[in-house]
Amino acid sequence: MDVSDLLTSAGINIAICVVLLSLYSILRKQPGNACVYFTRRLVSEPVRGTGAISCFERFVPSTGWIAKAWQATDEEILAVGGVDAVAFMRIVVFSIRVFIIAAVICLFIVLPVNYYGQDMQHKEIHSESLEVFTIGNVKEDSKWLWVHCLALYLISCSACVLLYFEYKNITKMRLAHITGSPPNPSHFTVLVRGVPWSPDNSYSNSVEQFFSTYYPESYLSHQMVYGSCTVDKLMKDAERMYRMLKSIDPRFLDRSLPYCIPGGAAHPFMVLNLRADSVSSSTSMDRLQPSQRRKECPAAFVFFRTRYAALVAAQVLQSSNPMLWVTELAPEPHDVYWSNLSIPYKQVWLRKITTLIASVVFMFLFLLPVTFVQGLTQLEHLDQLSRRVPFLKGILKQEFIHRVVTGYLPSVILMLFLYAVPPTMMLFSAMEGNISRSQRKRSACIKVLYFTIWNVFFVNVLSGSIIRQLTVFSSFKDAPKQLARAVPTQVTFPCVLNCWFNKTSTPPTSWQATFFTTYVLSSGWASLSCEIMQPFPLICNFFRKFILRTKVEPSSCALTFPHHTEIPRLLLFVHIGFTCSIMAPLILPFLLVFFFLAFLVYRNQILNVYVRKYESGGEFWPIVHNSAIFSLLLTQVIALGVFGIKQSPVASGFIIPLILLTLLFNEYCRQRFSPVFKRRPAQILIEMDQQDEQLGRKEEIHNQIRSAYFQNPIISHQVSINSNLPLSRNTSHHQGDEDNLHGLKSLKPFRYSTSSIR
């Protein structure tokens, strides 16, 4: 692949980005799309302003959203999206800073060394092969390899310094979130699982007896977890019916209504007074518990009088049998994943092993499309493909088609296959038995990250290709023998080390850098444009308004931020940037464009689209730190192998201290910052308890935490009174789309102003 092929791919992706961003700037001005592009603002803060936009301005692209996203401060992001949103944006800021440093070093120092690495007659720039810009063009035993070694030292040291300050700042934000937020029910609550069965007592009585005996001074009360029952189904139906009725004109409600509305053959819906007190007074926990006693699960939320008491109870081994009376700090009420609480604790370890095996199998099954895509980037493999499929021979000979197939199509095919990965990993994470939605997202994030790094990076740098191995299927008799030779060439360590062990002198870095560069263009630039366009909600909104002719705005259209898809995407590009920085510096400008565009797009989405439903306090940042350290170490190991291939033992020797220093830095950060993300500091919790006692707020807090974790939301009298709806604020029991925010305030008409949407 030459420079002209790369420019063709860049031109296609630039055109796609410009078209999609221009289309977005027009669509966001249309009043009918307010529920797609201003969801968070419609839900949480009704838009003010009476200014109008002319018809001409509504259909002319504008860049006002770019200015607003750029000018937004971290304080605004924190107020809107919480610590999780700020921590996510710090990934983008860290990437921009470190790759600006890498680009300055590599483009002005390393790239000329690569280009003039051998005595050769250079062609015109647009006809040059990309190989001449990689370290593969540097001749063996060259003294200029010291430039690559020095560049790697500078990049590694800069990355470690930036990582340290980011880790430190996010740790401070997490601690400030714990101390500065209003009294959080999860700080006083412990989730107990593995409650032993007693024929004489119910689970509820067993929990009360156990904690009253062993924690007599600090135990406050408890709330059992129940399995699904008819009451749950009735209340879900009641919630849906309420959403339908609340859109009716109030004048119509004053007229006489029938005493019952048919809700199905099983049960009717009674027309209730919409006042909250009538709903709460007609339903009480005392009346529902006897009928649900048979549905009790061996799990409960136990409330303590102080934060410190809850912390101690959560971290202490409660019984001589570690599988009984298992305690841990409870997640926030909105973060609870209720369906998994009914899973017996003894099954959790088996579920985790099963999902781990399923994830590994899925990861290896994905090798087929990835290795096929890898083969499309190499000319000799296209020739083999055209010989096996004769009708493609004439098509592939056309210059433009050839450039598209080698420079654009592979990364697009891989990107389409990768869209199926996050939902699959989210399903696996739900099957694991995670008790909170944030844990499920964090688990899915780790799985998707491992999956993408393995399939996008490692498989694409393996020696060989599936197209080269098509002869495996030519003879069934020799298939086992041929597979025995073919599989090791497909599943080995990166080709740099393969070349090192086989004593070959030229690592095939050209086509790898080509693929990764085009992957950044297609999966990076284009995916960000699709993210800001929100195609699926846009299509649903169009279908609802123009096909179903529905005028009422949906109240469940708000989504939380998809950390499990976006964090692995960013970390994959960070990984590619580190490993290709000194090997193929030409990728760095495209990476910087991606991260600058990501900075604008994600800020816009956090400010306008995604709703904060729960807060984990930036708990996923250790994943980011560990991934960056892994990328640095892999870059250094690959450089060690390349210097060995290039017969520069002194440069290889200087890489070893860099690897050791990176490992020591990671261990220091793990000891210094990581514990804060796993446990809550007792010192801070004790000070908060003392402050509450001095201000006389303990009784008020105790009343609040008693009603925070009701699984059936309209049971709680206090929550019903304080809510604007007959339903509680706690709606995390719904098992629909994980990111749907149920029980939102009714969407008010969106009044456009020039200052808010331009």
pLDDT band at 258 (very low <50, low <70, confident <90, very high): very low
pLDDT digits (tens, 9 = 90+) for 614-625: 888 899 999 999
185 versus 412: which is more confidently predicted? 185
- Longest Cα–Cα distance in the chain: 94
Structure tokens at 35: 């529920």
**Contact (CB, 8 A) for 16 and 526:** yes
pLDDT at residue 710, rounded to an integer:
77
Over residues 172-227, the pLDDT tens digits come to 999 999 988 788 899 999 999 999 988 888 899 999 999 999 999 999 999 999 87
The answer to whether residue 509 scores a pLDDT higher than 70 is no
Q: Flag the least confident range among 61-65, 75-79, 371-375.
A: 371-375
Residue showing tokens 């070694």: 149
CA proximity to 189, closest of 285, 305, 322, 298: 305
Distance between CA 429 and CA 443 in Å, rounded?
6
**Residue 261 above 50 pLDDT?**
no
DSSP letter at 129 equals B
| Tokens 């008799």 sit on residue | 477
Spatial distance between the Cα atoms of 49 and 297, rounded to a whole number of angstroms:
51
Backbone dihedral angles phi then psi of residue 222, each to the nearest 5 degrees: -150, 165
| Helix (H), strand (E), coil (C) string for 467-532 | CCCHHHHCCCCCHHHHHHHHHHHHCCCCHHHHHHHHCCCCCCHHHHHHHHHHHHHHHHHHHHHHHH
Q: Which residue reads 């049960």 in tokens?
A: 267
Kindly report the number of other CB atoms within 10 A of residue 523's CB atom: 23
The per-residue DSSP string of 253-275 comes to: HTS---SEE---SS-PEE---SS
Residue 21 has pLDDT above 60, yes or no: yes
pLDDT class for 387, splitting at 50, 70, 90? low
Report the SS3 class of residue 300.
strand
pLDDT classification of 50: cutoffs 50, 70, 90: very low
* Whole-structure pTM value: 0.79
What's at 683, amino acid-wise? Q
Task: Please tell me the least confidently modeled range out of 103-117, 157-171, 565-579.
Answer: 103-117
- pLDDT value, residue 726: 32
pLDDT (mean) for 314-326: 92
Both ends of the chain: CA-CA distance in Å? Answer: 42
What is the separation of C-alpha 417 from the centre of its chain, rounded to a whole number of angstroms? 18
How many Cα atoms within 13 Å fall on the side-chain side of residue 616?
23
Task: Determine the average pLDDT of the residues in 490-512.
Answer: 41
3-class secondary-structure state, position 5: helix
Per DSSP, the residues of 199-254 read SSS-HHHHHHHHHHHHSTTTEEEEEEEE---HHHHHHHHHHHHHHHHTTS-HHHHT
Predicted local confidence at residue 195, as pLDDT = 92
What would the mean pLDDT of 303-325 be, rounded to a whole number?
93
Question: For 433-490, what is each residue's pLDDT tens digit?
Answer: 899 999 999 999 999 999 888 877 777 665 443 334 434 344 444 444 443 343 333 3
pLDDT(497) > 60 = no
Out of 12-26, 159-173, 498-512, 586-600, least confident range: 498-512
Instruction: Return the closest-CA partner of residue 553 out of 757, 302, 295, 747.
Output: 747
- Between CA 366 and CA 364 the distance in angstroms is 5
User: Pick the residue with more confidence: 113 or 234?
Assistant: 113
The pLDDT assigned to 77 comes to 93
| Torsion angle (degrees, nearest 10) of CA 734, 740, 745, 746 | -110
DSSP per-residue codes, 141-184? T-TTHHHHHHHHHHHHHHHHHHHHHHHHHHHHHHHHHHHHSSPP
Q: Which of 93-102, 237-246, 398-407, 485-494 has the lowest mean pLDDT?
A: 485-494
Contact 197, 309 (CB under 8 A): no
The overall average pLDDT reported for the chain is 76
What's the angle, vertex CA 636, arms to CA 667 and CA 462, rounded to 5?
Answer: 120
Res. 365 pLDDT band, cuts 50 70 90: confident
**Beta strand 296-304 with 219-226: parallel, antiparallel or unpaired?**
antiparallel
The CA–CA distances, whole Å, from 260 to 256, 263, 269 equal 12, 9, 6
pLDDT of 525: 84
Question: Do 106 and 585 contact (CB within 8 A), yes or no?
Answer: yes
Of the two residues 115 and 218, the one the predictor is more confident about is 218
pLDDT at 718 over 50: no
Q: Is the pLDDT of residue 230 over 60?
A: no
**Residue 274 confidence (pLDDT):** 39
pLDDT of 163 higher than 90: yes
pLDDT of residue 557: 64
Quote the pLDDT of residue 150: 93
pLDDT of 696 above 50: yes
Pick from 2-6, 251-255, 312-316: least confident: 251-255
> Does 52 score more than 70 pLDDT?
no
pLDDT at 476 (0 to 100): 42
Question: Rounded mean pLDDT of 422-434?
Answer: 91
The answer to whether 99 and 577 have CB atoms below 8 angstroms apart is yes
Q: Judge contact between 746 and 723, C-beta under 8 A.
A: no
Beta bridge partner(s), residue 261: 269
pLDDT-derived band at 315, boundaries 50, 70, 90 = very high
Q: Could you read off the pLDDT of 526-538 as tens digits, one per residue?
A: 888 888 988 888 8
- The stretch 412-424 carries a mean pLDDT of 80
**In a 3-state reduction of DSSP, which class is residue 127?**
helix
Distance (Å, rounded) from C-alpha 707 to C-alpha 284?
Answer: 12
